[in-house]
Amino acid sequence: MTIDLSTPALLFPAVSLLFLSYTNRFLALSALIRKLHTDWIQTPEHCDRALLAQIANLRQRLKLIRWMQVSGALSLFLCVNSMGFMLFDIQILGTIFFATALGLMAVSLTALVREAYVSGGALNILLNETGKPASPSKDC
């Protein structure tokens, strides 16, 4: 199977939209982390289990967003190289780079799905704490 120069170019619109989505997720997460940091400083005993669970959840989401961004950027980089190889009629390397770019895009999308699932878990932490009486614990 041979692919032409326009085939890798098909990834460009998708990648730009994904990066916009990833950046928006990162910015929203940054704002939430800053708010939780303020809450952490204002909580004298630092034993609020919901707050600790939120922090653990945010750490996991931050790692996933990093994977999303890095694998997406590498996918785009390999896609550009693939187009360069195809431009100079080096089909085999162009095809290999394009296939690798597709694999990295799949990694990026898998991390996106996982992050969406984990972010729902963050909301469940808050919902579980809603309506419960505050009971500070000495041992976190």
Closest by CA position to 111, among listed 79, 76, 72: 72
pLDDT in tens, 54-79: 888 889 999 999 999 999 999 999 98
Neighbours of 68 (CB within 10 A): 25
Residues in contact with 26: Cβ distance below 8 Å, sequence separation at least 6, in sequence order? 65, 69
Distance CA 121, CA 140 (A): 20
Closest by CA position to 53, among listed 125, 123, 118: 125
Distance CA 83, CA 101 (A): 11
Cβ-based burial of 94 (10 A; exposed 0-12, middle 13-18, buried ≥19): buried
pLDDT in tens, 12-48: 777 778 888 888 888 888 888 888 878 777 776 656 6
> What pTM was computed for the model?
0.76
Amino acid at 83: M
Distance CA 71, CA 105 (A): 7
Distance CA 108, CA 17 (A): 13
CB 73 within 8 A of CB 113: no
Task: Give the pLDDT band of residue 131 (cuts 50, 70, 90).
Answer: low
